[in-house]
């Protein structure tokens, strides 16, 4: 229930951001539109009622819609309805302007552009019919006439809308594209990380191991793989519960991170097993690193509910002539880990030399 409430609050927040985005564009679009339509209405000699309606739509309506939307539990619904109303009213002014070609085409294009931007072709099709009906009603309301030619003052009055509105819509669209790119990047990063420990997850770690295997082969440099497994971890879970088990997993991950360099690649291989690639490090030096990790895990208090210190076993393997592919490297480190387990645990073992 709490989750549902949280997600609906998030959704409302997202909808309010949409309202804020549309608000700025609507103030600009309808404000500049009022100038173009006003010039055309003046040229066709529109009635006072038409003038009042047009000014209310151009100057008051954007603020009224935003006010209503912010107070509504469904701000986006209010926003979409008012976009349809914008189209109908836009059509109405086209009729009132006696279908004067330039301001009419400009109005229809700008209104279509933002419908496309927020709701695609389907939404545009829905609003187009509202616009058409509005145009017929506007024509009837202001004495139906077709007067295509626009005098120079009308042409000049169209310029602010013609220039500023597309620039504003493009700027808003570009900001959205950047946001989506940023979020995609964050998602890609998150999909590489193990949520419990913060280390790379298995899939991402294996990709890095394969890269390192190729790199070490190409540059003929050392690279050593450590496979690390918590001793009797099942007992920890059974005796102290899974939450304590999770704490132990996190503390082992922290010990690994503390003991290796940023260029080394640490990951959670699965369950209670971890892997680390030590780049440019020979097996002898890697054994010192392994010992440092082992000693830190043994020394650190993982959880007060654990009677004894938690320990780990480590198997280490350097890339050698026997490692024809990355799988051989993993198997060699795993075999060394198995030996550490069978030789009593809480120890590090190097893979047997070729
Ligand atoms: N708390 C917790 N436990 C997990 C998680 N993933 C796997 N496990 C447990 O980790 C335990 C792994 O135990 P085993 O691999 O069987 O071996 P072990 O008890 O560590 O014994 P040795 O490795 O032989 O020393 C299992 O009991 C799993 O349920 C996790 O994310 N959280």
Mean predicted confidence (pLDDT) in 51-77? 93
CA of 279 to the centre of ligand 1 (A): 28
The span from the CA of 24 to the CA of 21, in Å, is: 6
Pick the last residue of a domain from 160, 189, 218: 189
* Interface predicted TM-score of the whole assembly (ipTM), two decimals: 0.95
pLDDT above 50 for 189: yes
Q: What domain range is 322 assigned to? A: 202-350
The span from the CA of 106 to the CA of 112, in Å, is: 10
In this structure, is residue 240 part of a structural domain? yes
* Tokens linked to 282: 């020979």
Q: What is the CATH number of the domain that holds 253?
A: 3.30.70.270
CA of 110 to the centre of ligand 1 (A): 62
pLDDT, tens digit, 9 for 90 and up, residues 283-299:
999 999 999 999 999 99
Grade residue 197 by pLDDT with cuts at 50, 70 and 90.
Answer: very high
**In a shared domain, residues 126 and 34:** yes
Mean predicted confidence (pLDDT) in 33-56? 95
In this structure, is residue 87 part of a structural domain? yes
Percent of the chain with pLDDT over 70: 96
Instruction: Give Cβ neighbours of residue 31 (< 8 Å, ≥ 6 apart).
Output: 58, 59, 62
Q: pTM surpassing 0.90?
A: no
Grade residue 160 by pLDDT with cuts at 50, 70 and 90.
Answer: very high
* Tokens linked to 39: 């010039």
Per-residue pLDDT at 305: 66
pLDDT above 70 for 70: yes
**In a shared domain, residues 37 and 99:** yes
Ligand 1 site, residue 322, Cβ cutoff 6 A: no
**In a shared domain, residues 133 and 181:** yes
Mean predicted confidence (pLDDT) in 209-216? 96
The span from the CA of 164 to the CA of 147, in Å, is: 26
In this structure, is residue 35 part of a structural domain? yes
With the most atoms of ligand 1 within 8 angstroms of its CB, the residue from 237, 297, 302, 344 to mutate is 237
pLDDT above 60 for 140: yes
Ligand 1 site, residue 177, Cβ cutoff 6 A: no
**In a shared domain, residues 14 and 138:** yes
Ligand 1 site, residue 274, Cβ cutoff 6 A: no
**In a shared domain, residues 171 and 244:** no
Per-residue pLDDT at 3: 39
In this structure, is residue 178 part of a structural domain? yes
Mean predicted confidence (pLDDT) in 61-68? 94
If 0-12 CB within 10 Å is exposed, 13-18 middle and 19+ buried, where does residue 209 land? buried
Grade residue 7 by pLDDT with cuts at 50, 70 and 90.
Answer: low
pLDDT, tens digit, 9 for 90 and up, residues 299-352:
987 666 666 779 999 999 999 888 889 999 999 999 999 999 999 999 999 997
Closest CA relative to residue 305, chosen from 353, 352, 238:
238
């Amino acid at each position: 229930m709490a989750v549902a409430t949280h997600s609906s609050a998030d959704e409302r927040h997202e909808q309010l951001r949409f309202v804020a985005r549309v608000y700025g564009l609507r103030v600009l679009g309808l404000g500049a539109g009022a100038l173009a339509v006003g010039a055309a209405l003046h040229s066709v000699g529109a009635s006072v009622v038409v003038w009042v309606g047009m000014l209310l739509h151009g100057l008051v309506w954007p603020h009224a819609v935003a006010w209503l939307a912010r107070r509504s539990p469904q701000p986006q619904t209010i926003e979409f309805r008012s976009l349809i109303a914008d189209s109908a009213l836009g059509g109405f002014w086209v009729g009132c302007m006696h279908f004067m070609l330039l301001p009419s085409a400009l109005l229809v294009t700008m209104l279509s552009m933002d419908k496309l931007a927020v709701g695609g072709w389907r939404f545009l099709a829905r609003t187009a019919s509202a616009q058409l009906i509005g145009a017929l009603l506007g024509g009837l309301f202001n004495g139906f006439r077709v007067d295509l030619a626009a005098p120079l003052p009308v042409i000049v009055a169209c310029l602010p809308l013609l220039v500023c509105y597309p620039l504003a819509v493009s700027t808003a669209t570009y900001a959205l594209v950047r946001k989506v790119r940023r979020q995609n990047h964050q998602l890609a990063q998150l999909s590489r990380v193990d949520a419990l420990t913060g280390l790379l997850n298995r899939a991402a770690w294996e990709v890095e191991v394969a890269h390192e295997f190729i790199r070490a082969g190409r540059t003929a440099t050392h690279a050593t793989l450590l496979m690390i497994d918590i001793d009797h971890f099942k007992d920890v879970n059974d005796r102290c519960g899974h939450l304590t088990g999770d704490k132990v997993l996190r503390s082992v991950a922290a010990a690994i991170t503390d003991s290796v360099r940023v260029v080394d690649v640490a990951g959670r291989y699965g369950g209670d097993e971890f892997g680390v690639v030590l780049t440019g490090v020979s097996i002898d030096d890697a054994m010192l690193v392994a010992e440092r990790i082992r000693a830190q895990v043994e020394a650190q208090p993982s959880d007060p509910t654990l009677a004894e210190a938690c320990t780990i076993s480590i198997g280490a393997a350097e890339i050698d002539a026997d490692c024809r592919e990355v799988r051989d490297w993993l198997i060699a480190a795993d075999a060394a880990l198995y030996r550490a387990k069978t030789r009593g645990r809480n120890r590090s073992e190097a893979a047997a030399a070729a």
